[in-house]
Homo-oligomer: A and B are copies of this chain.
Amino acid sequence: MKPLLTPAEFEDRLRAIGAERYHSLHPFHRLLHGGNLDKGQVQAWALNRYCYQAAIPRKDLTLMSRMDDRELRRAWAHRVAEHDGLGDNPGGIERWLILTDGLGLARADVMSMHLALPATRFAVEAYVRFVGERSILEGIASSLTELFAPAIHKARIAGMLASYDFIGDTVMQYFRRRLEEAPKDVGFALDYVKDRARTPDRQQAVLDAVRFKCDVLWAQLDALHFAYVEPGLPPPGAFIPDDRQ
Contacts and interface: CB of A to CB of B under 8 A. Distances in A.
A84 interface: yes
Contact of A86 (B77, B91, B128): B77
Contacts of A66: 58
Contacts of A77: 80-81, 84, 86
Interface stretch (A5-13, A67-75, A191-199): A67-75
A73 B85 CA distance: 10
A80 B61 CA distance: 11
Number of copies of this protein chain within its complex: 2
Contacts of A85: 70, 74
A216 interface: no
29 contacts: A54-B68, A54-B70, A57-B64, A57-B70, A57-B73, A58-B64, A58-B65, A58-B66, A58-B67, A58-B68, A61-B61, A61-B62, A61-B64, A61-B65, A61-B73, A62-B65, A64-B65, A65-B128, A65-B132, A70-B84, A70-B91, A70-B93, A73-B80, A73-B84, A74-B86, A77-B80, A77-B81, A77-B84, A77-B86
